[in-house]
Amino acid sequence: MSASSPEARKRVLVVDDSAFMRRMVSDVVSSSGEFVVVGTARDGEDALRKVHALNPDIVTLDVQMPGLDGLDALGYIMSEVPRPVVMLSAGGPDGGAEATLRALELGAVDFVRKPSGPISLDLDRVREELLDALRAASCTNLRGVHVLARALRTQRLESDVASRALMPALVERVVCIAASTGGPAALTQVIPRLARNLNAAVLVVQHMPKGFTASLAQRLHTLGPLVVTEAAHDNVLQNGHVYIAPGGVHMRVERCGTDVRLRLDDGPTEWGVRPAADPLFRTVAQVFGASAVGVVLTGMGRDGAEGLRLMRAVGAIGIVQDRDSAVIAGMPVAALHHAGADVVVPLDAVARAITDAVASFEETAALRGRKAAPMVKSRSMGTA
């Protein structure tokens, strides 16, 4: 059966309180030839009825609706009749970023921003983004969808702050993480579970547009003991800090004397995205060599695969999320095929694997120190 035949097309339920948006989204979906609209719904309650009655393969769901809004409807869908959901995001002082991130934590696969200006100017952008999101949804592994019902942690401990203050200022080790579709929810399972005394800086490239990465950083900051911020150009890396690459720019590292600083640029997209993980991984390989950990999580495409290969070629440790726990297995599978890995683990074991990898660097350094100590003592005694 060909992918374009009516029987093979994924069936989509379109949910939006705006009749105009329902018609526009339905036209985009139907005209693609890849999907078929099985029905529309005007609000959350109508959506729940039609999900049960029509059993669609995919749901597009407006975030903001009167009555039962998109977040509440999503919660019911994922708990009662789980299936891939693509959120349509718009409005709000932050561009709907907070609500959108919450939707991704509740199990939505992806999101698309509604037109922000004249529909004629934004239609091509919305069309391509929506179809890309639906294609990702059609590949979703629902077993890999982790639903975060509440924050893992909402209050920071003074002991955490004190322990970070005592950590070495000089960054000698770094962890870099690549993620795409399914990544925001995956990061909530990884970043908050990293050890509060992690003796490394953590750099994250999550494929997201401008305006959403700052909210992602703020949200991750509230969930665990590490300091999480959206990266800024010329940031000096610090141990125990997590830096999220801003949407719309690539992030790289550069050594400046004893410091390592972040460099941001709006160079050409790689693999169709910016930020991309490969530019970061390449420079991490050059600057940190074997004292680095590269991690590839869920996502479409192959970003991170070549970068991880370069990192492992200079002795860095490679960690790849396993296929079964990934919402979309494209990036992890490509990384494993192209670069190999030292560790392949399910999502809930990634944080432990990172912590163990960083600890192994410290053990190696300590072992080198113990081997060198007698030689230093011998020379000292000989000159006395």
Question: Alpha-carbon distance 289 to 89, whole Å?
Answer: 41
Instruction: Tell which residue, 219, 175, 170, has the closest CA to residue 195.
Output: 175
Question: Alpha-carbon distance 189 to 348, whole Å?
Answer: 7
| Superfamily of domain covering 10-140 | Response regulator (3.40.50.2300)
Question: Alpha-carbon distance 15 to 61, whole Å?
Answer: 5
Mean confidence (pLDDT) of the chain: 87
Average pLDDT of span 271-279: 96
- 164 pLDDT above the threshold of 50: no
Pick the CATH number of 158-367 from 2.40.50.140, 3.40.50.2300, 3.40.50.180, 3.90.1150.10: 3.40.50.180
pLDDT in tens, 62-96: 998 998 999 999 999 998 899 999 999 875 555 67
pLDDT band at 120 (very low <50, low <70, confident <90, very high): low
Query: Quick count: other Cβ atoms within 10 Å of Cβ 64?
Result: 17
Catalytic sites, residue numbers: 180, 207, 303
Per-domain boundaries in the chain: 10-140, 158-367
Residue 185 CA: distances (Å) to CA of 14, 182, 346: 23, 6, 14
Hey, what are 52's tokens?
A: 């049960």
pLDDT in tens, 127-143: 999 999 999 999 999 88
pLDDT recorded at residue 327? 95
Average pLDDT of span 158-183: 73
pLDDT in tens, 195-221: 888 999 999 999 998 889 999 999 999
pLDDT recorded at residue 306? 98
pLDDT recorded at residue 115? 73
42 CB-near residues (< 8 Å, 6+ apart): 15, 16, 17, 19, 22
The residue ranking higher by pLDDT, 307 or 105, is: 307
- 266 pLDDT above the threshold of 90: yes
pLDDT band at 5 (very low <50, low <70, confident <90, very high): low
Least confident of 185-199, 200-214, 256-270, 356-370: 356-370
Strand 58-62 relative to strand 85-89: parallel, antiparallel, unpaired? parallel
pLDDT recorded at residue 269? 96
Percent of the chain with pLDDT over 90: 72
Asked whether the beta carbons of 31 and 127 are under 8 A apart, the reply is: no
Q: Do domains 10-140 and 158-367 have the same CATH topology?
A: yes
pLDDT recorded at residue 3? 53
On whether the pTM is more than 0.75, the answer is: yes
